[in-house]
Amino acid sequence: MSPKTQERLLYLASPIGLLLLWQLLLMAGIGDRRFVPAPSDIALRYWQMLASGELIYHSAVTLYRVFAGFFIGIVPAIAAGLLMAMFRPVRIFFDPLIATLFPIPKIALMPLLLLAFGFGDASKVALVVIAVFFPVVVNTYVGAANIEKIYWDVARNFGASQAVIFRRIVFFGALPMIFAGLRIALAVSFIVLVAAEFVATKAGIGYLIWNSWELLQVDVMFVGIVTVGILGLIATVILQEIERLVIPWKSE
Amino acid sequence: MPAQRRGAAIEIASLRREYASGQGSVVALDNVDLRVAPGEFVCIVGPSGCGKSTLLRILAGLDRQSSGHIRVNAEGWAVENAMVFQDSGLFPWMSVEKNVRFGLDTRGVPASEADPRVDAALKLVGLSKFRRHYPHQLSGGMRQRTAIARAFVTDPAMLLMDEPFAALDAQNRVILQAELVRLWEQTGKTVIYVTHSIEEALLLGDRTVVMTAQPGRIKQIIDVPFPHPRDLMQLSASAVFGALKLDIWRVLEAEVMRARAEVEG
C-alpha cells in the first residue's frame, strides 16, 4: 500500500469509525432508538424521502434562497472592498459601519426582515445577502490593500488610468483573497438560512429539521442535518473548481 | 525601428530628495547634477542606500524630488520612459503576452497596431513560444526577458533599469546583458541602468556614475572607453577592463566603508 493510499484510508477512518460505533452501541441496546436513531435508520429514511421527492423539494427551496442571496450579496461586497482599497475616503466612510455591523448575529435581524419583506422567500434571501456581505467585503479589502507595491509602480509607470488599475490590477490581485471570502460566505449563508427557516416558512431544509423535531420524528431531523452538510460540501467543491478556472496563475 | 533615431536627452540639476522620518529627515539625494546625451547608456553604481533607485524612480515619475529639476527632452517619442524592475514586476494574473501588451493597452493603442508590436517584442527576446505562459511557469531569466519586452514594446525614449539582472544566476546574467546591449545598439534608446556591480556598469555603459553613501551625491563620473559593438565576454577578460574595474573599486570602496561605518554607528 502506497503512503498516499494509507493517508486516504486514515482520512476516512474517523468518520466511518464514528458511524460504526454509533450503530453498534444502538444495536447493543445502549440508548433509545426512538430518540437517537441509528445511522442505518437515518440512511433508510434518507432514501425514502429522496424517492418520494420530499427531500428534493426542500433542498431546492433552500438552494434557491442560498444562491439568490449569495450572488446578490457578493457583487456589492466585492465592489465595496475594492473601492475601499483604492480610495481612502471610501475606506474611512465604510470602516465604522463594518466594524459595528459585522459582529451582530445576522439571524437577529430576521424579525426586522420579516417586517420589511414579509414571510416569503424575499426575507430569507435578504438575510443571506446581509450575512454574505461582511466576510466578502473584508476579505476583498484586505486582498486589494495588500497587493504588492511593485504592481502599482508598474501600472503607474506604464501610464495606467485609475479605471485600468481597478479592473486589471486591483481586482485580479485581490482575487485569491476574494475567493477565500467567498468560501466563508458560502458556509455562513447555509448557517444563517437554515436557522431562518426554523420560523415563518413552510419549506426548506431548516423547516424540515424544525418541523420534524416538533413532531418528534428524530430520524427525519437527522436527514435534514445530513442534507445541509451534503449540500454545503457540494457547493464548496463547485466553488473550488470555479476558483481553479478563474485563477489559473495560482499553481499550487 | 530606425537606428538613426536617438533616445531622450536628460538634464538633471541640483536634484535633492528628502524623506521625513521619525524625528527628522533623511536626505536620499543631494545636489545631483547629470546630463545624459540622447542615446547614451549610463550606469549608476553606489553602495546600498545611496539613492540610486530613488533617482530612477524620480525619472520614472514614481517619486518626486524635494528640489532641483529634471528636464527630459523626448520630442518625437510617444512614450517618454519605461522601467524594468529588479524582480520583474510581471503581473502574475496575466500571460506573457498580456503582460507585454499592458503598456500598449493603457495607452489605447488599437489592436491592429498592438498585435504586430507585441509579436515583434516577443520575438526580440525569444519568447514567442511562451506567449500563453503565466509568469510562475517561467524561469527567472525568462521573466526578466518578458519585463524587458514589456518595456521595449512601448518604444520609450529612455529605458530605466533598476538592477534588472541582480537576481539572476551568473550564466543567465551574461546572456541577458549581451541581449540588452544588442537591443540598445539596434534601437538607440537612452538607458539609465542602476547596478551595484562595477563590472556590469563597465560592460554595458558608455559612462559610469559613482555615487556616495547617504546622502547620495555624485562622486565621480567615469567615461568607459570601450567601443561598440562590444563582445562582453572578451571585454571582461581584457587587462584594460580589469585595471578600470580596480580604479572604480578604489573610488567606491571608501563609500562602501563609510556606509558600513554609519550603519554600525
Tens-place pLDDT, residues A77-86 = 999 999 999 8
Alpha-carbon gap, residue B175 to B148, rounded angstroms: 13
Does residue A252 have a pLDDT over 60? no
Bridge pairing between strands B67-73 and B207-211: unpaired
Beta bridge partners of A219: none
Percent of chain A having pLDDT more than 90? 82
Question: Which tens digits make up the pLDDT trace of B109-118?
Answer: 999 999 999 9
Q: Any chain B CB within 8 A of the CB of A169?
A: yes
Contact state of A158 with B92 under an 8 Å Cβ cutoff: no
Tell me what pLDDT residue A128 has.
Answer: 96
Beta bridge partners of B125: none
The yes/no answer on whether domain B9-77+156-264 falls in CATH 3.90.230.10 is: no
Contact state of B134 with A248 under an 8 Å Cβ cutoff: yes
Top-level class of domain A35-246: mainly alpha
Tell me what pLDDT residue A50 has.
Answer: 93
Average pLDDT (A63-74) is 96
Domain spans of chain A? 1-31, 35-246
Dihedral over alpha carbons A109, A114, A119, A121 (to 10 degrees): -50
Beta bridge partners of B210: B45, B220
Contact call for residues A110 and A206 (beta carbons, < 8 A): no
Alpha-carbon gap, residue A172 to B92, rounded angstroms: 9
**B99 half-sphere exposure, CB direction, 13 A CA radius:** 31
Contact state of A251 with B137 under an 8 Å Cβ cutoff: yes
Alpha-carbon gap, residue A166 to A173, rounded angstroms: 10
Does residue B258 have a pLDDT over 50? yes
Contact state of B106 with A158 under an 8 Å Cβ cutoff: yes
Contact call for residues A128 and A110 (beta carbons, < 8 A): no
Does residue B3 have a pLDDT over 70? no
Per-residue CA distances from A154 to A150, B51, B103 (Å): 6, 19, 9
Q: Any chain B CB within 8 A of the CB of A161?
A: yes
Question: Which tens digits make up the pLDDT trace of B236-257?
Answer: 899 999 999 999 998 888 888 8
The average confidence (pLDDT) of chain A is 92
Does residue B21 have a pLDDT over 90? no
Partners of B102 on chain A (C-beta within 8 Å) are: 154, 158, 160, 168
Partners of A168 on chain B (C-beta within 8 Å) are: 91, 94, 102, 105
Tell me what pLDDT residue A7 has.
Answer: 85
Length of chain B: 265
Percent of chain B having pLDDT more than 90? 65
ipTM of the assembly? 0.89
Please give the DSSP secondary-structure letter assigned to residue A187.
H
Tell me what pLDDT residue B15 has.
Answer: 93
Does residue B108 have a pLDDT over 80? yes
Beta bridge partners of B158: B81, B190
Domain spans of chain B? 9-77+156-264, 88-154
Average pLDDT (A10-28) is 89
pLDDT band at B265 (very low <50, low <70, confident <90, very high): low
Looking at the complex, report in whole angstroms how far the Cα of residue A225 sits from the nearest Cα belonging to chain B. 40
Contact call for residues B46 and B252 (beta carbons, < 8 A): yes
Q: Which of A222-236, B13-27, B102-116 has the lowest mean pLDDT?
A: B13-27
Tell me what pLDDT residue A52 has.
Answer: 94
Alpha-carbon gap, residue B66 to B25, rounded angstroms: 12
Q: Any chain B CB within 8 A of the CB of A158?
A: yes
Does residue A201 have a pLDDT over 70? yes
Alpha-carbon gap, residue B229 to A11, rounded angstroms: 65
Alpha-carbon gap, residue B9 to B11, rounded angstroms: 7
pLDDT band at A13 (very low <50, low <70, confident <90, very high): confident
Average pLDDT (A11-31) is 89
Looking at the complex, report in whole angstroms how far the Cα of residue A240 sits from the nearest Cα belonging to chain B. 18
Looking at the complex, report in whole angstroms how far the Cα of residue B103 sits from the nearest Cα belonging to chain A. 5
Q: Any chain B CB within 8 A of the CB of A151?
A: yes
pLDDT band at B4 (very low <50, low <70, confident <90, very high): low
Which of B58, B86, B102, B146 to probe by mutation at the A interface, max A CB count within 10 Å?
Answer: B102
Tell me what pLDDT residue B2 has.
Answer: 46
Partners of B136 on chain A (C-beta within 8 Å) are: 249, 251
Residue A125 CB partners (closer than 8 Å, separation 6+): A65, A68, A69, A72
What sign for the dihedral angle of Cα A18, A20, A22, A24?
Answer: negative
